[in-house]
Structure 1
């Protein structure tokens, strides 16, 4: 089991981990304004958002692999509620850009993340896949 050194807890990602780079809480005037230039419903903008933000977050090859696999599991689950990941929680100190909670097809957004991650992270995913995961104790 991979252990997150920051929390000392098992690294168990969820598809929401792909959204952290879009969190504009307390950065509305910087990152928020930058992200407002893009419409996640438009294929061209969506690809830029994913490749330039979501997939460029610094992660180890093992983290990428586990994150990719958790997204694969969610996508294969026809009942998985991707919309819930975009809804604003007033109890949390985080928020996505305006309008993202009304994205036309959240599942498509995450399917695109999966498709593009498979290309961009291909070498890292292959490297991690060949390893014995039972030996993964630290990031």
Structure 2
């Protein structure tokens, strides 16, 4: 169950929640600069205020808000003007006299149109979040037949294999590289790896002598993780990686050391900091 960002209650989106920034006194001066009845200014207002990430909010909350609004717009009986209504008997004034209502704003001429633009803008602003929220679960990925899974020659299946090719210029891959452990930061998983390369050792005598790179160091960055499980004790040691492209996204399984496993579904997996050496570093 998805809980509210600031509590343990179930997260239940409402139309008023979607435009809650309209009713916050701290935003009153900023919002007064916009005309909510001008489509261009309204889109800027939505992008810069309503659709910006909230503290403690996750991509799952944004998915819930988006899907709620989709259903509301698909229902011809939804009263979008009701979002501006205040209980006059209780509050004693209408919405346009509300203390935090932006100065200079009169009335919203087309409430449905406002929320239609909200949905279209959210589809653009929250694009990665919505894709990430709809990635397959770990349970679904584990059911992928073995013939359709990724192999251990995985370096050229990630988002930016060019960073590897620019250093090595050929399809050499590391032999079970070593890591000192993963680093988690703001929803990202990063591993620094180093190891020797799979290279053709025996060359015909007629071939010219060469001095190829024999060792490498590089970082693997896993971002926009939708689901992750990990178990084990010491997350340092040799690493085996199986990367299955999901189109979009990836199912990634890391086997580290003797008993550690990190398994996740993520939108992006990329290489960075690639370096090559002619001897062990």
Structure 1 gap ranges (5+) = none
What is the CA deviation profile of residues 60-85 of structure 1, one whole-angstrom value per residue up to 9, with x for unaligned ones?
10000000000001000111111111
Quick one: distance in 1 between partners of 2:20 and 2:102? 12
CA gap of 1:10–1:21, structure 2 versus 1, over 3 A, is same
User: Does the Cα contact within 8 Å between 1:21 and 1:57 map onto a contact in 2?
Assistant: no
**How many correspondences in the alignment?**
129
Secondary structure of the equivalent of 2:7?
Answer: coil
User: Does the Cα contact within 8 Å between 1:86 and 1:100 map onto a contact in 2?
Assistant: no
> Shift of residue 11 of structure 1?
0.9
* Larger Rg, first or second structure (1 or 2): 2
1:82 aligned residue: 80
1:117 aligned residue: 122
**Residue from 64, 77, 82 that aligns with 1:66:** 64
* Residue range with higher mean Cα deviation, 95-104 or 42-51: 95-104
CA gap of 1:14–1:127, structure 2 versus 1, over 3 A, is same
Tell me the TM-score normalized by structure 1.
0.79
CA gap of 1:23–1:2, structure 2 versus 1, over 3 A, is same
1:42 maps onto 2:38 in alignment: yes
> Shift of residue 101 of structure 1?
7.0
The alignment yields a C-alpha RMSD, in angstroms, of 2.5
**Residue from 105, 109, 122 that aligns with 2:110:** 105
Quick one: distance in 2 between partners of 1:84 and 1:99? 21
More helix by share: 1
Secondary structure of the equivalent of 1:4?
Answer: coil
The equivalences for 1:24-43 within 5 A come to: 24-25=24-25, 27=26, 31-43=27-39
1:23 maps onto 2:19 in alignment: no
Secondary structure of the equivalent of 1:41?
Answer: coil
* Residue range with higher mean Cα deviation, 96-105 or 75-84: 96-105
What is the CA deviation profile of residues 83-136 of structure 1, one whole-angstrom value per residue up to 9, with x for unaligned ones?
11122346579743257572110000011110000011011011112255xxx9
More strand by share: 2
